[in-house]
Structure 1
Amino acid sequence: MVSVCSTCKGLQKHLRALDGGILDTEQLAWVKTTLPSLRRSTNRGCRACALLLQGILLHHDRFAAVDEESITVTAESFNTPDTQDHLSVEVRWQGHAAASCNGDDEHEHEHDHDEGYPDLKLEFFTDKDGQSPFSAIGCGRPISQNPLQDSGLGTAKDLIKGCLARHSKCRHAQPTTLPRRVLDVLLDDGSKGVRLHETAWDMDEHRYEFGEYLTLSHCWGSGKSVPTTTIKSLASHRKIIPWSALPKTFQDAVMLTKALGFRFLWIDSLCILQDDADEKLEASVHMDKIFANSFLTIAATSAADSNGGLFPAKTQPFKIQATDSKGSLYKIYVREQPSHHSFKAPFGEQAHMNDWELPFNSSPEVSAHAPLLKRAWAYSERLLSPRVLHFTNSEMLLECREAYQCECGRINNSTFDSRATDSVKQEFARIIADGEDHGGVTNGYNNNRIDSVAYQLAAASLDDAARDITRRREEAIHLWSYIVTEYTSRDLTYDNDRLVAIIGIANALSNSLKSGYVAGQWTFNILNLLWHPSDGARCRRSKSTPNNIPTWSWASIEGSPICFDNSSAMDLACKAAFPSERGRHQAWSPVSGDTMELTAAMATEVTFREDGDNEYSLVKNGVSVEFKPDILPPNGSDMIKTGEELICIFVSMTFRSSIIGLVLKRSQRDSESYCRVGRLECYECLQDDREDESEDAEALFQHWFPEVEDMTQLDNGPVRTFVVV
């Protein structure tokens, strides 16, 4: 009888079968134990457990301060058609109690382990020859060290070819035009330098010349080492930009552009006149075209500034000497599985996008290993590009309009990584394509009475078109809200760019939303005004100049991600109007805004009260509700004193049985206008003389609006109008 290690089955498939294991499943479980138990098995002479223990301890710095009794270990291999033959070892120590084994290895397989993503995930694998003393450990996926070398360049080209072959949304339907300026990387004088190429303008076609080009997405860092084109340097840059003047990231991008077979590269600092405010704004307005028309965006994802280079050094796998039963030596490699940075969430893939925890993944690890993903400009560039080739400190990763691909081959495969994958770029591409497909459909027929027989015959199809527009608008506005939350969780060097850096995304969604757009607000949708900062204690009111950002805009608050409420169970007859749209079909004012007129059936004066440290309430008729101002504590222009009178406007009732509204205070500059100071969400209300008994939110209607007798007639009742600046 063969003695089989009860902890690891010897990592031998034939021994696992003898022990009653099933070998024809997709995943083969080998180990489910604790780190101390793994040590005990090693001490009893198991070579496979010794290998696992050594590989884990090579990463001891990750759990040096952790009590080993709380560390659990699992290991599994895979029977998959894509030759993922490595052994996957998961180590956990956070968020759960230590398994209780009492030193009895016989019951280790019964331990319950945390199903979340492990604190440390390792791969044990062999090199190409696949020679291993343990049949559970096979070949690993190679990860290139330098994408400019043959193997690395071949991998990059394969990722791109895979996208072009399978993804229709990622292909350009027609020839693309070059931006106003691009860098020519193929100089005829043979030098390494580049030349600024100003593209020809076709007067008849109103476009620049056709051509393919790449774009670079990068962190400027402090900006001191970033070369720029200015009015003064424009003439010399047309002749040549010396190689020595280019920082490492730019040099790597130029070499990669050449290696991939392209002539033109667009880099913002060199292709836009940096001291021409009008040109910079024009380029920002057309950012969707610049990146959407690019064949490929090269992303220096792990570089903190332009000197970091495009190809960071990768951590080399550890090599372990292993022996078989005859004493023959073999090499086993151990590396940490690429984390996929913020493309994967800390929650499972079964979660729907509308239920995701936002921001998607903003962990300190992401900031440290992928600083570009924490930049707001880069987020816009990433969404707008048909495909982005990310260069990280663990691997290359291609993100496109339909999928992800990576060198390790696991990002899109739930067998290897069960976490949800960030699909906002794919959803963004779907909605844009849907809007373009229906670009000729409008809802103008609703504005005119048509009594013809033809109209009557077409009524059904027109109704279908209206429903289709409504559906696409709802999908697009939900996506916009998600994007703004993600965008505002990222960093900007200049506060003035807050509305500028998102213009390209607004442009791209305009076909689907078919709405005016003022200072970040789509004018058709009042629910989008019910934004709120996730952390008011980190917030400040924008003092952006020269742009005027009104208080009703989410862009007026800086310092915290902005969240939204876009679903309503009951409309409380509140309407918003934008004077800038009067006399015209739609407003388009993407970087500034003026007044907004709120007309409400349920608006009332309330008294502001401070109840404690950053605890506030609104009171009327002896009934109070909790209130969180936008800025905590209220200060500056948002200062509110206890006893001060505010205006509370009810906008909607949600499916959560809460009432949501806006809270305004009178403007200091104009007594006839108001400023937003916060959003109210009421789940319950309290009578001050009966604080121990709360009432549901609906009770607030009768306490604060006793004159309203029929809620179904709000649209026909009296209204009040407030000018909000």
Structure 2
Amino acid sequence: MVSVCATCNGLQKHLRALDGGLQETDSASLRLVNTTLPSLRHSTNRGCRACALLLQGTLLHHERFAGIKEDGIKIKAESFDSSNPTSARNAQAHLSVEVRWKAHDGGCCEGDELEHEESYPDLKLEFFTDQDDQSPFSAIGRGRQMSENTLRDSGLSIARRMISDCLSSHFRCRQVKPTTLPKRVLDVLDDDSNGIRLHEAKFDQQEQRYEFGEYLTLSHCWGSGRGIPKTTRKTLESFKKSISWSSLPSTFQEAVVLTRSLGFRWLWIDSLCIVQDDDSDKLGESFNTDDIYGNSFLTIAATSAVDSSKGLFPPKSQPFKIQVTDSKGSLHKIYVREQPSHYSFKAPFDEGAHMNDWELPFNSTAEANLQTPLLKRAWAYTERLLSPRVLHFTQSEMILECKEGYQCECGRIDDPIFDARTTDSVKQDFARVIAESSNREEMDNGNGNGNGNGNDRRIDSVASQLAATSLSGASQDLVHTREDALQIWSYIITEFTERDLTYDADRLVALAAIARSLSPTMKSGYIAGQWTFSTLNLLWHPKEGAQCRRPRFAPEQNVPSWSWASIEGSPIFFDNATAMDLACTASFPAERGRKSVWSPISGVDLEITAALATEVNFRLEASNEYSLSKNNVSVEFRPDVSPLRGADTLQPGETLICVLVSMTFRSSLIGLVLKQSKNNAQVYRRVGRFECYECQRDGTDTEPDDAESLFEHWFPEVEDMTQLDDGPQRTFIVV
């Protein structure tokens, strides 16, 4: 009787199944190996061919764990049940090998027990055969081939299949009406097969639209901008005749060829379709980003290129080939490659986590930013959200992101069987709330209620109180949709402010098109990044410990201190939930007696009316550590700009205004901190937000009091918290 290796069961499915190895929690996978690298070496030295294959395939990627002690490297291998419908549909018959050496805290695993099984492995490999070869190991089957060159037939076929699946399966992704061309677009089917020219679309004055046409858009990193051809007032007329092929960087050339290969005539590229030295044209086209990218059939994304000289299609690492013999001595080829990690599209937390529980920003690790530099750019983030479909070209594969999900060449990005991590769904959630609003509007029109004059189509001129965000006469489903949209908006701002912008002046310009897309859902005024119906959205705060600054805006832009856009250098977070409204409201005088204000890049004064507002003393506890104190009771304070400088400079002992806004479900108090203007005693600037979990009596070593104790210490005159709305209130003008 032939003995079977206890370490790997010979990589034979039937032997492991008889041994009870089928995972009870996952009927689609079969655990075959659960060991360490030294154990794998030991089994190899004893003559196990299967362990030798696993060892060789793992060591081919040794640069990934160089310097790690081998007894701290854990190996797990599993195959997939070919009878499972999902596995069969996706042709996933490879052997998946997980290699782990890091603990959650960044250290190495120690001991014999396998630790941190719930985290994504540090290295994930797949062992497979090609379509024509057989494997001597039943756990290793055929793998899914990846295109080596997108412009060859196999690559184009994969791209077309993913697009076709999107159009046939996804209702939100279908264009329900003909699209119009942007103001300018590139004609890539010019008579000269290698030439292109700039086409100015014909404008129909009566219909107030440009001519119809389907087109593609390009999303790319400019890098330094050197070497990128640009349309200027000087080159505009000549570009309408011809643009030299040799003047185009590699990314542009490959985008043109791909556009032609997919059967399209028109392509939009920002540097060529916007007159770059015409501020009016640049601003106008920036505000139309929702139309430009939203009406595009497909956005081509140079996701792994740091600039346009690197090309659209990065070179892909080819799998290693290992020769193995079966029991009869026949040779077979086994391929080994690193499984695509899906980079910035996947997060380090499990599938099914609610957006409120996500760790934000979604995935901004150094590795993700290195592999997908385009996704680190703020403008590209806007383009990605607005496009119906984005075809990402990465160093490992093509990924199609659309309004209803993802597809990729390896077939695993949206399949929890192969990768249980959560996929970034903001694009899908963004599309969902817009679709729900559009469907509701169509229903209203069908019922004769869509003339735009009813109460449900008007905007509150004064921001609603915290716990009552509903519009007068609005239905509950409308309230729910708007609250849902506000949550998604907050998430978008956090992600957007994590990304890089070359020019501060673009900070609000780049978001204007997203705001315009959400406007029918919000049914609210919009001023300098703030929806006027929401007081809670004023409770933004930079990420803790960030080194922030005030951006430099264009002269025509006035971004007030109450806007999140007035801070640069950190992701911005929001408090959108409250357990109790502390009788604080916010309103915009500019909206009184008129329709909702649309001021996307400039701000106006804000009025805050509060029942719990008081003077406090600012204190410097240590370097970049601050507190607020009154009646010998202090709370920790984190200003918007730290360290303090410029207009945000505060002196120890300086009097500030603390406005309590809400009590949260975290049993904390949240408020705004205002500084009085030196030139006008009626005007204030925001200098920070604070969240109080506990308050400390000055000069004592006693245990801190809980947050609610702050009421009696700072507001002893308030005897009944339930009567705040009927008591005295103070109003502050915040600029």
Same fold (TM over 0.5): yes
Is the contact between residue 130 and residue 138 of structure 1 (CA under 8 Å) also seen in structure 2? Answer: no
SS of the aligned residue for 2:97 comes to: strand
* Equivalence for 1:2: 2
**Does the 8 A contact of 1:535 with 1:561 survive in 2?**
no
1:81 maps to 88
2:548 equivalent in structure 1? 539
Change (3 A) 1:81 1:447: closer
2:497 counterpart residue number: 488
| Structure-1 residue corresponding to 2:435 | 433
Equivalent residues in 2 for 1:528-607 (5 A)? Answer: 528-546=537-555, 547-607=557-617
- What SS class does the counterpart of residue 540 from structure 1 fall into? coil
Structure 2 residue 644 is matched with structure 1 residue 644: no
Shift of 1:193: 1.2
Q: Aligned equivalents of 2:15 and 2:545: distance in 1?
A: 59
- Shift of residue 280, structure 1, vs aligned partner: 1.0
Change (3 A) 1:18 1:582: closer
Q: What are the superposed Cα offsets for residues 678-710 of structure 1, whole Å, 9 maximum, x if unpaired?
A: 101001111114342211111111111111112
SS of 1:537 mapped into structure 2: coil
> Which position in structure 1 is the counterpart of 2:28?
26
Whichever residue aligns with residue 64 of structure 2, its letter is R
Distance 1:581-1:17 versus aligned 2 partners, 3 A rule: closer
Of 628, 651, 655, which aligns to 1:618? 628
Q: 1:277 Cα shift?
A: 0.8
**Mapped contact 2:392–2:400 kept (Cα < 8 A):** yes
Of residues 490, 500, 506, the one that matches 1:497 is 506
Which of 215, 218, 234 is the matching residue for 2:217? Answer: 215
Pick the aligned partner of 2:697 from 682, 687, 690. 687
8 Å CA contact 2:455, 2:473 repeated in 1: no
Q: Secondary structure at the match of 1:135?
A: coil
Identical pairs, percent: 66
Distance, in Å, in 2 between the alignment partners of 1:343 and 1:18 is: 38
Map of 1:134 onto structure 2 = 137
Residue 465 of structure 2 aligns with which residue? Answer: none
Change (3 A) 1:259 1:447: closer
* C-alpha contact 2:456 2:474 (8 A) present in aligned 1: no
Report the Cα distance in structure 1 between the residues aligned to 2:213 and 2:58, rounded to whole angstroms: 51
Distance 1:28 1:372, change over 3 A: same
* Amino acid aligned to 2:68: V
CA deviation map 1:606-661 (0-9, x unaligned):
00011112211100011111111111121111111110110000111101111101
Deviations 1:467-512 (A, max 9, x none): 1221111001000000000000000011110001011110111011
Deviation at 1:15, TM superposition (A): 3.3
Gaps of 5+ in 2: 82-86, 445-449, 459-470
Aligned pair 1:159/2:167, yes or no? no
Cα displacement (A) at 1:58: 0.6
Quick one: distance in 2 between partners of 1:427 and 1:57?
Answer: 42
Check the 8 A contact 1:72/1:113 in 2, yes or no: no
- 514, 520, 527: which one pairs with 1:511? 520
Matches within 5 A, 1:379-458: 379-439=381-441, 444-445=454-455
8 Å CA contact 2:68–2:101 kept in 1: the answer is yes
For 1:286, the equivalent position in structure 2 comes to: 288
Q: Which residue of 1 aligns with 2:372?
A: 370
CA distance in structure 2 between the partners assigned to 1:321 and 1:562 by the alignment: 53
Secondary structure of 2:227's aligned partner? coil
Q: Is the alpha carbon distance of 1:21 and 1:339 closer, same or farther for their aligned partners in structure 2, counting shifts above 3 Å?
A: closer
Asked whether the equivalents of residues 443 and 466 of structure 1 are also in contact (C-alpha less than 8 Å), the reply is no
- Match among 113, 118, 136 for residue 115 of structure 1: 118
**Counterpart-to-counterpart distance in 2, 1:347 and 1:170:** 27
The answer to whether 1:477 aligns with 2:486 is yes
What is the count of residue pairs matched by the alignment? 703
Match of 2:227 in 1: 225
Are 1:246 and 2:243 an aligned pair? Answer: no
Give CA-to-partner distance per residue, 1:314-358, whole Å, 9 cap, x none: 011111111112221111111000010111001111311121000
Task: Determine the structure 2 residue equivalent to 1:174.
Answer: 177
User: Counterpart of 2:96 in structure 1: which amino acid?
Assistant: S
Q: Distance in 1 between matches of 2:472 and 2:384?
A: 36
Rounded to whole Å, the distance in 2 between the matches of 1:419 and 1:548 is: 42
Please report how far the alpha carbon of residue 21 of structure 1 lies from its aligned counterpart in structure 2 after TM superposition: 4.4
Q: 1:147 maps to what in 2?
A: 150
C-alpha distance after superposition, 1:128-160 (max 9, x if no partner): 114111111011111101111000000000000
What is the TM-score when the length of structure 1 is the normalising length?
0.94
State the Cα RMSD in Å: 1.8
Residue 111 of structure 1 deviates from its aligned partner by 4.5
Q: Is the 8 A contact 1:88 1:124 kept in 2?
A: yes
Correspondence for 2:641: 631
What is the letter of the counterpart of residue 655 of structure 1? F
> In 2 relative to 1, CA 246–447 (structure 1 residues): closer, same or farther, beyond 3 Å?
closer
Query: Any conservation in 2 of the 1:8–1:30 contact (CA below 8 Å)?
Result: yes
TM superposition score normalised by structure 2: 0.93
Long gaps (5+) in structure 1? 102-109, 449-461
Q: Which amino acid aligns with 1:385?
A: S
**1:56/1:447 CA distance change after superposition, 3 Å:** closer
Q: Does 1:321 align with 2:323?
A: yes
Residues 292-323 of structure 1 deviation map (CA, whole Å, 9 limit, x = unaligned): 10000000000100111000000111111111
Q: Secondary structure at the match of 2:505?
A: helix
SS of residue paired to 2:189: coil
Rounded to whole Å, the distance in 2 between the matches of 1:515 and 1:388 is: 29
Aligned partners of 1:424 and 1:447: how far apart in 2? 26
Write out per-residue CA displacement over residues 419-451 of structure 1, whole angstroms, 9 at most, x where no aligned residue: 001111110000001111223567953899xxx
Amino acid at match of 2:173: C
CA distance in 2, matches of 1:497, 1:131: 56
Give the match for residue 451 of structure 1. none
Give, in whole Å, the separation in 2 of the partners of 1:17 and 1:512. 53
Q: Measure, in 1, the Cα distance between the counterparts of 2:389 and 2:431.
A: 11
Report the secondary structure of 1:624's partner residue: strand
1:566-619 deviation line (CA, Å, top 9, x unaligned): 001111111112122233110100011121111111111000011112211100
The amino acid that maps onto 1:368 is L
What CA distance in whole angstroms lies between the structure 1 residues aligned with 2:72 and 2:336? 23
2:724 maps to 714
SS of the residue 1:499 aligns to:
helix
Contact 2:541 2:573 in 1 (8 A): yes
